[in-house]
Amino acid sequence: MTWIVWRQQRPVLITLAAGLVVAAAAILLLRAGMVSDLQTRNIVDCVRDGTLQACRGEGPRAFQKSWYDLIHFAQLLVIVVPALVGLFIGAPLFAREFEQGTHVLAFTQSVSRTRWMATKFVVAALPALLFVAVLQLLVRSWVNAAGQLGPLAGGPYYFSTFDAQGVSPIAYTLFAYTLGVFVGALFRRTLVAITLTLGVFVVTRGFLSTWRESTIEPVRVLSNELTDPYAGMGPGQVVKNTGFLDAKGAVVTDVNAAQAKCVPNARIEVSVEDRTACWQQNGLARSFREVLPFEQATTVHLLEASIFAGLAVLFVLGSVWAVRRQA
């Protein structure tokens, strides 16, 4: 049974293997070229320090102009591949069998439907997951080598960095694959399965990506700078809220009323120092911003992955039901 399934999936497996070889060769060559460029421009130390302050000047800017988009494209490739797995491996897995009627032969053999389904499911899934895992590791190595001169400068919550890091790519792949399998087994039409899989995958990913930031408790950062609450903000920080505190540390609810008292009647220039002093006299003692802590990114990865894993389990159970109900 396993040998038959392997032969059925041979075109897909050959495509995955060839794609992985080509992608790995391209990424490794580009990464080597990038590291050589870092050494040529004598900016290896600024990448090693891991701070943007150490990476200023014409050399770092020219390096980013040459390499940033390529690295970002590699991250996007990691994000797109799970959807392709669901569309072209998961969706046709059972839909093509039912569409062409070849499932009838399998159902008349001594092998049970459950075993037939499980074998097809595992044989197609494992190479796809291996492909995504290896591709992710290669891209992450390239991204880390660029340091703060690459997409890491956007912080761990930057969409391409977050979606291409941690357990997220594997979770997305499991979700897309099982979604495609379920839709294909349910509707028994390959084109319908591909279309629905793409639509549901995009909508679900989009919804959860906007929801993920609400799962993190922001950290309040205080500042004596009243005119600019973003002053001193580090690169990549995600600001959820800004505001002002009074002398007792309470949040000022009516900021406009306090600031309105400091607007001059005549059109005259007011210095920042005078405006700040006036605001302080009217109850605005300090400013604050609430930012998402970087160290919580791993927790968000695991939380989001658990949601996709739970959905994958439901799709697997739905696929079992859909296959077993076929005549």
Note down the domain range covering 260: 219-291
Are both 45 and 190 inside the same structural domain?
A: yes
Are both 194 and 65 inside the same structural domain?
A: yes
Alpha carbon 127 to chain centroid distance? 22
Are both 191 and 224 inside the same structural domain?
A: no
**In tens digits, what is the pLDDT along the chain, a chain of 327 residues?**
555 666 667 788 888 899 999 999 999 999 999 999 988 888 887 777 655 555 677 788 888 889 999 999 999 999 999 999 999 999 998 888 888 766 555 555 666 777 778 888 888 899 999 999 999 999 999 999 998 888 988 888 888 999 999 999 999 999 999 999 999 999 989 999 999 999 999 999 999 888 877 788 888 888 887 777 777 777 778 888 888 888 888 888 877 777 777 766 545 556 667 777 887 777 788 888 888 888 888 989 999 999 999 999 999 999 989 888 775
Are both 156 and 13 inside the same structural domain?
A: yes
Are both 53 and 67 inside the same structural domain?
A: yes
pTM for the full model? Answer: 0.86
pLDDT at 163: 93
Are both 176 and 38 inside the same structural domain?
A: yes
pLDDT at 103: 59
Are both 231 and 192 inside the same structural domain?
A: no
CB-CB contact of 110 with 321 (8 Å): no
pLDDT at 104: 52
In the chain, which ranges are continuous DSSP H helix? 2-8, 10-40, 44-49, 58-85, 91-100, 103-107, 113-146, 159-163, 168-187, 190-211, 255-260, 272-281, 297-324
pLDDT at 155: 87
CB-CB contact of 174 with 167 (8 Å): no
pLDDT at 323: 85
Are both 82 and 230 inside the same structural domain?
A: no
Are both 80 and 125 inside the same structural domain?
A: yes
* Count of the separate structural domains present in the chain: 2
Are both 152 and 266 inside the same structural domain?
A: no
Are both 46 and 102 inside the same structural domain?
A: yes
pLDDT at 1: 53
Are both 261 and 120 inside the same structural domain?
A: no
